[in-house]
Amino acid sequence: MLNISENLVARSFNGCEITVSLVPSKKMQNTRDGFTWVEVGKKVLLQSGVEIELNLDGRSFYTGINEMFRFDRKVC
């Protein structure tokens, strides 16, 4: 499991590299005792403060149209 404050390097196919962090993606779940927050995955936090969902493969994400970045290994 990766630490949330750990910075990761993501690369695009044209050679650009960006430094990002991972943050938990949480959803509200209904229980008998009320509602609780449950972690359901990870999001990518850019240095600008924008949070982006990871793709289903757990290794890549899009910052814009035709701008896909990828990690060297699966992160979640």
Q: How crowded is residue 71: how many other Cβ atoms within 10 Å of its Cβ?
A: 20
Is residue 4 predicted with pLDDT exceeding 80?
no
What's the pLDDT score for residue 74? 83
pLDDT surpassing 50 at residue 7: yes
- Indicate if the pLDDT at residue 40 is higher than 80: yes
Q: What's this model's pTM, rounded to 2 decimal places?
A: 0.77
Flag whether pLDDT at 3 surpasses 90: no
Q: Is the dihedral of CA 49, 1, 3, 35 positive or negative?
A: positive
Q: Which residue has the tokens 């924008």?
A: 50
